[in-house]
Structure 1
């Protein structure tokens, strides 16, 4: 009889300790690894494409529905859903498994994208974009989680910057190619096909991950009910209502120019303030694992990194959404040419990510490259704000490059700076904290800049048009940007000048945000990337060699799980153990150890907190802020 059992023990209990035939993340074959990464990076690329797909399509979409003043909702709806639902997928992945959560995310994205292509009204299109954003947040979460397990966790903090830089290339390509692809497809086949043609590629991504995502990882977890109870439902809901109400206020007051006394202006403003207060109270006192970790709000470095992320995202998305509009409405180019002007931004972001990762890996430092290249976004936005109709091709095509390169360097260095100033046991909490500010900044960049643009556009048109039918003409120009090319020469000149002065104000807003972001980052100190605050329960990782971490040879001492397995109960007596390398001390204790999804977390803000190694708790904690 096996020493692991006795006559009094049910045979059915033997399965949890039976050896697994599937390999761990460090043991998978090259073909399996490449298949997983192909699926992950395709999904990441498409999710990023969807963030920036709309800007070059806005004139065509809004002109078809005659609602240009509502066009900003096509961007904010997607970004709002992504920012709100991204943290929740970290928990769902532990309940449903990586593959199950990935399939759910792709389902939402696919349904939303198909609905976008089949929309018959602007309202339906906005709702469809929100549904697609729910899935987009999940794709980002699951992709970064899997990337961490297969790649990033093998490296030290110093080397992780380089590995993350490589992964960020695909995100940068997606953000940069969204505009050009949207414009080209719109010109060739119509804007609806820009949504519908994505479906086969999503299915290919899902196929790659479903077939190859079959490794096992060591660790233990909590029951499904325990994990679900720790999801911050109320906090996510109050954040969604607060930010959504603020967007509605900005739209009704500035996009639709309703008076302050109108209930449609006052009500969303009051709702936004009330639910923001509720969000703060929930995060401070109610949520078991809040999205916004309260203890980090008391720490200087995480707060400064969060503010920087917020302002950088505002700058990025303000320019990304309104720079193509300059060429369509002022220069009267087609959508494809307008979108191609975003392409240099994509290339510079990718180069900047790789450059920052390489420099941090080579020097072990991040502050100096941040000081030097962190001012580039301000220089780039100033160059963009000085653009005019007679600008040469150099300024028209390349003025955006310093912004893309500089912001890519900033995002990489700030991620590593944040991780360097918190214990490894709170990595997921800290990165989730920074990611929340980044997501809200993306929404704010589109919403605030749109409010500035629409408000200035209306006043500029009223100053220049004194026709008896001025109201009708102004409404036509604001609601149908594509109609500018059909106007008579005198009225067309007025419309182009009005759009130019309005867009320049938006670019000035982006410049102010970029400068403020640079000032906010100045107090962040340097820290040696070869040493960092650590949890007392975890041994230091291998030295920085860019080589995989060692894998234990004694497979019987590891409690392994599969990416597609759900979590089942682990006794409370085991919660105090470190989850990094759990060891069964007896046959009975080994049989009590159940499967969990993974102990490894994402460097991009996944709130998967069941691991003490790099999960931690968002409710309590302490870090060294030196």
Structure 2
């Protein structure tokens, strides 16, 4: 062995020495390996597979009149708290926000399985909804991080297969489990999936997103508590009003009707004021409300979700009350909808990935939901089986295409720094539509059903009989022939009204989407100057002209430059985006990964 000389390097193979700063070994979302990317996708998608709600649960507690709140409480939580996850993904990191959502959903699902009262079960469903909406939002944000705008549609389409399977299999499989070993196990059996999701994201989700880290105290200050609370109270009060006025048939002058209606108006005004003037980082970003594309897509999302949930909530009821099938058979009629939604999402994603366009797909297939809603509206007892089983397919396929293309359209017209906030913005309108699809359609249905039953039933105990028929769809099959005929006809008229409402909402959504312009989708990811590429120095633009707000590319057009200046001047508050030259916007730093926590180093803390 020869002695070293002064010409020999002190370190013979520097590439084998671990870096002193571990953050230097952290990749950006566009630079991670394929196996790690697939591990992340498996983690976030396994959580989105979960979907179970069983109206028959209420029979164990003898409180069937509260059964509707099992679904409504879940949707209420999704509607009011999902927008927060766009912010949390910025200030806590992608992994932190996703795991909070999964933990909340898991704890809520566990509490559902262990509930010993209807009130506790409703509260547990609300807790599960706090995480359920966040799972979908964070999954969408993480996917947007890792793929180019042109590839996101295809990836989101694959994700929708898991969503569709969860929706399609949740009812039938859960019903079998409920019949075999009890409804509690339909919730408890989901718990392993939550642990699988947490384990996969904990191991794989460590990519770096550039920006500036904040302390836990600063993170808590940036959450819009006022906006979330006022939105929760406004939507919740509306649902209470609809329930007391139309489901419980209380008169307008009743205090239980007047008070929630007044509170809904007051809290709605308070929400707007908080978002516009008080919240440091509002859940409903005001600058998005000033832009045409986000507003149009938000309104479309609302109407599409209203149509979806109106049909999903009442479609099985038609088969129970008009066709007099069993509850299990009625639920199976939703399977074609789930399959068609999965196929529609995959088709839209593949077409956008192949062509780089979304508007023509939306124009052609965006009319399918209206056609499907019309086919459903005109169903009759003697309709052929093909109409009864297949009429829902155009609706599911078309709505899936619409939701996929509008999401990509929204992201394509926002700067990279607004992806998380923009995703939460779109989810807020979808959540409002979901709640409206159950609440408004239920009010319309119950009002018409009560009117039609009173026209047809004139027995001495008519009031009690009508109340029982309205509150129990299962009762129709066991009624005497003459009363059964009256109930079937009344249900048919009421259900036709809500299906017409769904058709009108999806047609209006189609009209609203027409002005959304086409924009070519980038085929290659826009690589940010991340820590890996630039030696951990994140580029900060010196002026509004450095980055185009619509594309994120250097040297944008004059129109883009003017838009950037206008946006900056109109938002003095921080909006949880990328660090800019003025230091007004920030998110997790280049020294933190998906967990939004600083990494320790060999030489000490960073």
- The alpha carbon displacement at 1:286 in A equals 1.3
Moved more, 213-222 or 502-511: 213-222
Show the 5 A alignment for 1:517-596: 517-530=509-522, 544-545=523-524, 557-558=535-536
| Counterpart Cα distance in 2 of 1:548 and 1:301 | 22
2:119 pairs with 1:115: no
Q: Is contact 1:293–1:429 with CA below 8 Å preserved after alignment?
A: yes
2:126 pairs with 1:130: yes
> May I ask how many residue pairs the two structures share in their alignment?
540
| Counterpart Cα distance in 2 of 1:440 and 1:554 | 41
2:305 pairs with 1:313: yes
| Counterpart Cα distance in 2 of 1:115 and 1:256 | 28
| Counterpart Cα distance in 1 of 2:90 and 2:279 | 19
Aligned position for 1:492: 484
| Counterpart Cα distance in 2 of 1:219 and 1:551 | 11
- The alpha carbon displacement at 1:266 in A equals 0.4
User: How has the CA–CA distance of structure 1 residues 90 and 62 changed in structure 2, closer, same or farther, with 3 Å as cutoff?
Assistant: same
Aligned position for 1:276: 268
- SS of 2:357 mapped into structure 1: coil
2:158 pairs with 1:166: yes
Listed one character per residue, the Cα deviations across residues 275-316 of structure 1 (whole Å, up to 9, x for unaligned) are: 101111111111122122223323222211111110000001
Q: Is contact 1:419–1:430 with CA below 8 Å preserved after alignment?
A: yes
Q: Is contact 1:429–1:618 with CA below 8 Å preserved after alignment?
A: no
Listed one character per residue, the Cα deviations across residues 505-563 of structure 1 (whole Å, up to 9, x for unaligned) are: 11111111111111111222223334xxxxxxxxxxxxx25x79599796781279xxx
| Counterpart Cα distance in 2 of 1:436 and 1:467 | 47
Q: Which runs of 5+ in 1 are unaligned?
A: 1-14, 531-543, 561-572, 581-606, 620-626
2:155 pairs with 1:142: no
Q: Which runs of 5+ in 2 are unaligned?
A: 1-18, 548-573, 587-606
| Counterpart Cα distance in 2 of 1:553 and 1:432 | 27
TM-score (norm 1): 0.78
Q: Is contact 1:62–1:479 with CA below 8 Å preserved after alignment?
A: no
User: How has the CA–CA distance of structure 1 residues 67 and 467 changed in structure 2, closer, same or farther, with 3 Å as cutoff?
Assistant: farther
| Counterpart Cα distance in 2 of 1:487 and 1:121 | 30
User: How has the CA–CA distance of structure 1 residues 187 and 388 changed in structure 2, closer, same or farther, with 3 Å as cutoff?
Assistant: farther
- SS of 1:231 mapped into structure 2: coil
- The alpha carbon displacement at 1:241 in A equals 0.5
- The alpha carbon displacement at 1:372 in A equals 1.2
| Counterpart Cα distance in 2 of 1:98 and 1:417 | 22
| Counterpart Cα distance in 1 of 2:212 and 2:66 | 48
- SS of 2:49 mapped into structure 1: helix
Within the candidate set 57, 70, 73, 2:69 is matched to 73
| Counterpart Cα distance in 1 of 2:90 and 2:290 | 29
User: How has the CA–CA distance of structure 1 residues 449 and 89 changed in structure 2, closer, same or farther, with 3 Å as cutoff?
Assistant: same
- SS of 2:424 mapped into structure 1: helix
2:39 pairs with 1:35: yes
Show the 5 A alignment for 1:46-61: 46=50, 49=51, 53-54=52-53, 57-58=54-55, 60-61=56-57
Aligned position for 2:216: 224
| Counterpart Cα distance in 1 of 2:116 and 2:440 | 27
Listed one character per residue, the Cα deviations across residues 63-93 of structure 1 (whole Å, up to 9, x for unaligned) are: 5555555433222210110122222234445
Aligned position for 1:414: 406
Q: Is contact 1:293–1:618 with CA below 8 Å preserved after alignment?
A: no
Show the 5 A alignment for 1:400-549: 400-530=392-522, 544-545=523-524
Q: Is contact 2:24–2:535 with CA below 8 Å preserved after alignment?
A: no
Q: Is contact 1:91–1:227 with CA below 8 Å preserved after alignment?
A: no
- SS of 2:82 mapped into structure 1: helix
- SS of 1:557 mapped into structure 2: coil
| Counterpart Cα distance in 2 of 1:558 and 1:265 | 59
Aligned position for 1:358: 350
| Counterpart Cα distance in 1 of 2:226 and 2:430 | 20
User: How has the CA–CA distance of structure 1 residues 75 and 253 changed in structure 2, closer, same or farther, with 3 Å as cutoff?
Assistant: same
Q: Is contact 1:72–1:450 with CA below 8 Å preserved after alignment?
A: no
- SS of 2:83 mapped into structure 1: helix
Q: Is contact 1:17–1:556 with CA below 8 Å preserved after alignment?
A: no
| Counterpart Cα distance in 2 of 1:295 and 1:415 | 18
Listed one character per residue, the Cα deviations across residues 304-343 of structure 1 (whole Å, up to 9, x for unaligned) are: 1111110000001111111112222332323332222111
| Counterpart Cα distance in 1 of 2:380 and 2:193 | 39
User: How has the CA–CA distance of structure 1 residues 121 and 488 changed in structure 2, closer, same or farther, with 3 Å as cutoff?
Assistant: farther
- The alpha carbon displacement at 1:406 in A equals 0.7
2:368 pairs with 1:376: yes
| Counterpart Cα distance in 2 of 1:62 and 1:291 | 34
- The alpha carbon displacement at 1:30 in A equals 4.6
Aligned position for 2:198: 206
User: How has the CA–CA distance of structure 1 residues 527 and 97 changed in structure 2, closer, same or farther, with 3 Å as cutoff?
Assistant: closer
User: How has the CA–CA distance of structure 1 residues 349 and 471 changed in structure 2, closer, same or farther, with 3 Å as cutoff?
Assistant: same
2:335 pairs with 1:339: no
* CA-based RMSD: 3.2
User: How has the CA–CA distance of structure 1 residues 425 and 144 changed in structure 2, closer, same or farther, with 3 Å as cutoff?
Assistant: closer
| Counterpart Cα distance in 1 of 2:65 and 2:514 | 38
User: How has the CA–CA distance of structure 1 residues 265 and 608 changed in structure 2, closer, same or farther, with 3 Å as cutoff?
Assistant: same
| Counterpart Cα distance in 2 of 1:242 and 1:30 | 45
Within the candidate set 340, 359, 363, 1:348 is matched to 340
| Counterpart Cα distance in 2 of 1:340 and 1:376 | 22
- The alpha carbon displacement at 1:219 in A equals 4.2
Show the 5 A alignment for 1:168-317: 168-317=160-309
| Counterpart Cα distance in 2 of 1:23 and 1:131 | 34
User: How has the CA–CA distance of structure 1 residues 32 and 293 changed in structure 2, closer, same or farther, with 3 Å as cutoff?
Assistant: closer
| Counterpart Cα distance in 1 of 2:341 and 2:218 | 40
Q: Is contact 1:458–1:474 with CA below 8 Å preserved after alignment?
A: yes
- The alpha carbon displacement at 1:126 in A equals 1.9
